Structures are given as structure tokens and as C-alpha cells.
Amino acid sequence: MTTVIPLGQVVDVSAGQPAPKPDEFSNSGEPFIRAGSLERLISGTGEENCERISEETARQKRLRLYPENTILFAKSGMSAKLGRVYRLKRPAYVVSHLAALTPIGKYDPNYLSYWLRKNPPSHLIKDDAYPSIRTSEIANLEVPNISLDEQRRIAAILDKADAIRRKRQQAIALADKFLESAFLDMFGDPETNPRELPQEALGELLERIDSGHSPKCEARPAADNEVGILKVSSISSTHFRPEENKAVFETYPIDERNLINRGDLLFSRKNTYQLVGASAIVDTVHGKLALPDLIFRLVPRADRRIEIPYLWMLLTQESIRERLRKVAGGSAASMPNIGKERLRSVLLPIAEPEDQAQFSKFYSKRILLKNKLQENLNVAENLFASLSQRAFRGEL
């Protein structure tokens, strides 16, 4: 039987530091990693796309620069319950909500990151209502006491399985990029509008904008026989993620009109500065999911002057996202909020109906391709999960 050893004996366990003020960030310098950054980093977004801190600001704020291969996960806040684990690819500064496990040469960081994904530190949380993990508890976490050579051997096997999984994920991402390329080829960049498409206010193209409400929910996703309220994270990546929801207490009545349906276009009215105005098309529904008060449903007019795939792709373009940010209330330092009337006023370039219909066909083909690629990804995910189980049972 494999013996164990406290984590604090093989890595340096610490926490990050408070985030600087919004105006203290820079266009250059080293990345600053927040708890909210982990999801994007794990999905493949590069650390260079995070906020930056200049060397001068870091010196003034006495920020610690964590080295490459430091392992990060949330130790406080609701993010601590998600079990996201990320290993730095380059030096970076880290927010205080994150635990940082810095290698000291006694444990392989690659092996440890795999082990923590299989055994998420979220199990150390004692109060679901106020999630928090002390660094002392993290340091006392018991990990396998095996040799560095054995750790590296296991990590190398998991790396190969993980590479297969990532290639499947990249194929899905390429399908998304192809759709955006087709959009730009057909209609041009909305910022420069090279086709000289007429601009119309969004409100003139919509039948209505639906909004929901957020009742008291449990801190878990809804089961198949329950109603779930969508979280803003369900559309923050511009693709619909139905698993991002919270179960509604059984005693709370839900208005059937707030339930979402396949083909709905959802819009994030309130979020961080970078994510406000995110949108996604509901391409799959399992069980009953309802709108929260932070997500709108945009319902086009029946005369089909605007197609949902065309409108969705318009709303994902950075120039249009910037228009949305400008009409939002609040500031970049708070949580910008877009009301219905301000949203209706946003001007958009509107293509001819037949051209929009052609783009909708591209969108439908992309859905079929993505479904097939998702099946391949599921196979790779199952292979990786099986190897992980065997690896940490000592069977590899």
C-alpha cells in the first residue's frame, strides 16, 4: 500500500495577494491571475491574455511573483467549490483568493496537478455557504509518498492521454473559428462595415426581450427531475453550457414562460467588464432550466428580419461587444449592467435576409460537425478518466 506525506513537506503552500486597483494594471508586465481566470486558462486561453502588472507596480504593492509550474486553485469564494486546478506556464502574480503550491524540487508539479484534479481540494471546505480553505489545511493534505521518477513516469502516461483529449478540444475550437471566418467573409468586420450594411437599432428587430428572476437555490446543479436556474457562466464563453445551473428549492413556483428552449438566444445583461454582453444559442436542453434575472432572452420578430445565428455572431464580435459595454451602466471596476431600453438602442449592421439565411445553413452544418467531434471528445475524456483512476490506485 502506498504511504502518504503532508503536501506542505514537498511544496511551498501559500496564498496570493489582494488585487491592485483597476487603474494600476498595465499593457505590459507579468500576468495577474484571478480566481475567475482559471476557467479560461484551463480551456486553453494563454496567460498573456490575463491582466498585466508592471514591475514598478508590483514593487510598490509588494506583490510576489510566482514561478512557472506553480499550481493554483481557489481557496475561498464560490470558485473554491469548482475544483479547478491550473499549473502556471510562466511567472505570474496571483490574487489572494487562490492557493499557490510552489515547487521546491521534492515533488513533480505535473504529477501533483493531475493528482489534485482527481482529488480536488474542495473536499476540505467545511461550510458550503461560506466556502473557504485554510493554507494550513492545504499543507496538511496527504499526497502519495512515491519517488520522483515514479511520479514523472505516471505523469508522462497521463500527458499522452491528455494530449489526445486536447486535440479533440482543439478540433471543436477550429469548428467555431471556421464559422466566425465564414461570417467575416460574408459580411465583413462590423467595426469597418465594408459591405456598407444599413445600421438598425436592435429593438426594431426584436419581438421582445424576456427576463427571468433568481429565487433562492441550492448550491448544486439540478437533477433531471428538478428545475435549475441558469448561472451567468452558462453563457459567458459565448457557447451554451447547461450544466452551469443551480437547483431551485422544490417549494418555489417557477413560471413556465421563464423556461428556456432549444434555439433560444441568451444574453448576459450583467457581468464583469470583459464578460458583460456575452451571448449563446441554446443548442441542447436536458430537464427544465429557467432564466435568472441576470440573463435576457432575445426574441426576434416573426418576419425574420434577423436570424438568430446571424444576431448571435454579431453579438460575439469584439467591436459590437465594445458598443454594448458603452451603453452599460456601472463601471469597469464594478459589475456593468445593460438595461432593456439601452440594449434596444444599440445599432447593428443588418445584412439581407437571404444572406442571413445562408449563414444559418453554415451554422446548422457546424452544429452537426460539432456534435460528431463532441462524441470523439467524450471517448477521449473517458480514456483519460480511466487512466487517472488506475494511476492513483497504483495500477499503472
- Alpha carbon distance, N-terminus to C-terminus of the chain: 14
Coil, helix or strand at residue 5: strand
Q: Which residues contact 343 (CB under 8 A, 6 or more apart)?
A: 202, 203, 209, 267, 269, 296, 324, 327
Count of CB atoms within 10 A of residue 30's CB?
21
Element (H, E) at 143: strand 142-144
The whole-number pLDDT of residue 333 equals: 55
**Cα–Cα distance for residue pair 33/69, rounded to 1 Å:** 14
In order of 120, 145, 146, 392, the CA distances from 2 in angstroms are 19, 7, 7, 10
Separation CA 394–CA 390 (nearest Å): 6
Residue burial 339-372, b: 16+ Cβ < 10 Å; e: rest: beebbeebebbbbeeeebeebeebbeebeebbee
Q: pLDDT truncated to tens, each residue of the chain (396 aa)?
A: 689 999 999 999 999 999 998 889 988 899 999 998 898 898 778 899 899 999 999 999 999 999 999 999 999 988 888 889 999 999 999 999 999 999 999 999 999 999 999 999 998 998 887 889 999 999 999 999 999 999 999 999 999 999 998 899 888 888 888 999 999 999 999 999 999 999 999 999 999 999 988 888 887 888 888 889 999 989 988 889 998 888 887 666 778 888 999 999 999 998 887 788 999 999 988 788 999 999 999 999 988 789 999 999 999 999 999 999 999 887 655 678 999 999 999 999 999 999 999 999 999 998 899 889 989 999 999 998 898 888 888 777
> Is 239:246 a contact under the CB 8 Å cutoff?
no
Question: In whole angstroms, what is the distance from residue 95 CA to residue 328 CA?
Answer: 27
Q: Identify the pLDDT of residue 314.
A: 96
Q: Which residues of 288-302 are buried (b: 16+ CB within 10 A; e: fewer)?
A: bbbbbebbbbbebee
pLDDT of residue 351: 96
Of 383, 367, 382, 373, the residue nearest 171 (C-alpha): 373
Nine-digit cell string for 41: 486558462
Which pLDDT does position 230 carry in this prediction? 93
Cα 288 to Cα 251: distance, rounded to the nearest angstrom: 15
Rounded Cα distance, 382 and 373, in Å:
14
Instruction: Please check whether residue 87 is in contact with residue 69, taking contact to mean a CB–CB distance below 8 angstroms.
Output: yes
Amino acid identity, position 297 = R
Q: What is the 3-state secondary structure (H, E, C) of 302-325?
A: CCCCCCHHHHHHHHHCHHHHHHHH
pLDDT at site 227: 87
pLDDT of residue 251: 66
Closest to 73 measured CA to CA, from 6, 14, 31: 14
Task: For each of the domains in the chain, give its residue range(s) and CATH number, in order of start.
Answer: 4-146 (3.90.220.20), 147-193+351-396 (1.10.287), 198-350 (3.90.220.20)
Angle (nearest 5°) at CA 218 between 86 and 253: 140
* Rounded (5°) CA angle 346-350-352: 165
